[in-house]
Amino acid sequence: MKRLLLFILIFSSVFINTNLAEAADRRAVFIRNDGLWLKEGELERKLVEGSNLTHPTFSSNGTYISYIARKGKELWVYNRVTRLKRKVFDGDVSLTRWSPTESKLAWKSGGVLNVIDLTRPASSFQNVILGTGNYSWAPDGRGFVVSSSANLEPDGWSPVRLFYVPVNANGDLNKVQNITTLPKMSETFFAIGTTEFKWGMDDQWFAFIACPTASMSADSNTLLVVSLDGSRTRMIGNMLDQPNWFHWSPNTKQLGFIKGIGRLISENKRLTVWDPKGGNEINLGYTGFADGDFTWLNDKNMIVSRQIEWGYEVPQEKRAKPFLVSVKIKDGSAKRLTNPASGEADVYPKTLPGEQLTWIRTNSQSAKVMVKEDLGAPETLWINNLRTPQDCSGWSCMLDIYEAR
C-alpha cells in the first residue's frame, strides 16, 4: 500500500511539473493601456511605462524585444536578460523585423531600409538600401528580399520589381541582385506594391500578396509564389490584403490562404490550401460561413476563425461573431472548438509547440488571450486586459507570442 501511495505521489509530481514546464514555455509580450508587458508562463511584469507603445516583437532567440513609441516616431529595444532599454532610432518607423538567425533588427524609415546589430552595444544603425517598398529577411539572415513600389508614368504604372539585397549592402547598388519583375498592369493583374514575404519549408520559394492601389486593394489582391532564383512565378488566387491570411504548412510545401474578393471580411472568404505538386486547390470552406485568421495545427489540421456570413444589409446587432473550428485537410470536415459569449469574437489563433493553441477573444472594446493545452482541453484565460488595435493595423501591433514562431 505504501509503495502504491509513493508511486501515485511521484506520478502526480511528474505530471504537475510537466504541466508547469509547458506553461512556463509560453512567452508573450503585449501592450496594455499603461505600457509594455511580458508574460512568461503564468508570471507577468511590466517592462516599460507608456501610453503610445505599439508593435512589440521578440528577437529570434527571445533575448530582445523591440517596440515603437511616440506614435511611430521612436524605435526602442528592451533586453529581457539585463532589463535595460535602448533607443535605437528617432524618426518615422515601420515594418520592424528581427533576423531569423542573429540579434539584428531591421526597419523602414520612409523608403530606407535600416539594420542594427544589438550584440554590439556601441554600434549605430546602418542604411542597407534606398527605395524599399516592403521586405523580409532571407532564411539564412544574410540578406533581404525587397520589393520596389511602382510609379505612375505617362504610359501607366511601372511594374513592381523584387530584389535580393545583402545585409551589408550599405547602399552599394552593385551588391543588389534582381530576382524578378512582376507583370505590368493589365486586365488580369495590377500591383503597385507587396506585403511581406513568407518562406516555404525548403527556403526556395516565398509567398506574398501583390497589392494594387488602395481603393482596388480593399476588394481584391493577388497571392503569388516566386522561386528564390526568380525563374518561376505562380499566381495562386485572389484575396484581401491581410498578411495573417496566408501561411505555409509546417513540414510540407502546402500553402494555406483565405480565398475570396470583396471588402467585407464576412462574405465570400474561404479557407483554401494550394498544393504545388499538381497546382491543385483544396476548398476547405463551408457554405453559409466566412473564414478569416487561421493557423496550421500540424500538416493535416488547421484552426480557423469562422463566422456565419452576413452583408451590409444585416443590422449591426444581428451580425454574427467569429468562433474557432478545427478543419481536417483530408476531407474538409470541421469541429467547433470555442463558444464565445454574445458580442465576443475569437480571432488570431496561434499554434504553440505540443499543439497548444492560443487566440484572442474580443468585443472590440476589450480583449484577452485564451489558451488550450490541446484541442480537447478546456480553454483558460492567459492574458487579460490586452489593448485593442484602435490606432494601428492588426493584432500584431499589440501582441507577439514567442513560441508561435
Reported confidence tier of residue 17, pLDDT bands at 50, 70, 90: very low
Residue 74 has pLDDT above 60, yes or no: yes
Q: What pLDDT, on the 0 to 100 scale, is given for residue 404?
A: 55
Residue 6 has pLDDT above 50, yes or no: no
pTM of the predicted structure, to 2 decimals? 0.91
Q: What pLDDT, on the 0 to 100 scale, is given for residue 278?
A: 81
Reported confidence tier of residue 261, pLDDT bands at 50, 70, 90: very high
What is the per-residue pLDDT across 287-308, written as a single tens digit (0 to 9) for each? Answer: 999 999 999 999 999 999 999 9
Strands (E), 263-338: 270-275, 280-283, 289-296, 301-308, 323-328, 334-336
Average pLDDT, the chain: 91
Q: What pLDDT, on the 0 to 100 scale, is given for residue 164?
A: 97
- State mean pLDDT over 372-396: 93
Cα 130 to Cα 118: distance, rounded to the nearest angstrom = 22
The position carrying cell 539585463 is 82
Residue 130 has pLDDT above 80, yes or no: yes
What is the per-residue pLDDT across 148-194, written as a single tens digit (0 to 9) for each? Answer: 999 998 888 999 999 999 999 999 999 999 999 999 988 889 999 99
One-character DSSP codes across 2-57: HHHHHHHHHHHHHHHHHHHHHHHH-EEEEEETTEEEEEETTEEEEEEE-SS-EEEE
Residue 361 has pLDDT above 70, yes or no: yes
- State mean pLDDT over 102-119: 96
Percent of all residues in the chain with a pLDDT value above 70, rounded to a whole number: 94
Residue 135 has pLDDT above 60, yes or no: yes
Cα 129 to Cα 114: distance, rounded to the nearest angstrom = 7
Residue 65 has pLDDT above 70, yes or no: yes
Residue 11 has pLDDT above 50, yes or no: no
- State mean pLDDT over 378-405: 90
Residue 216 has pLDDT above 60, yes or no: yes
- In this predicted model, which residue has the larger pLDDT, 81 or 404? 81
Cα 365 to Cα 400: distance, rounded to the nearest angstrom = 20
Q: What pLDDT, on the 0 to 100 scale, is given for residue 12?
A: 43
Cα 275 to Cα 252: distance, rounded to the nearest angstrom = 9
Residue 8 has pLDDT above 80, yes or no: no
Whether the CB-CB separation of 334 and 327 falls below 8 Å is answered with yes
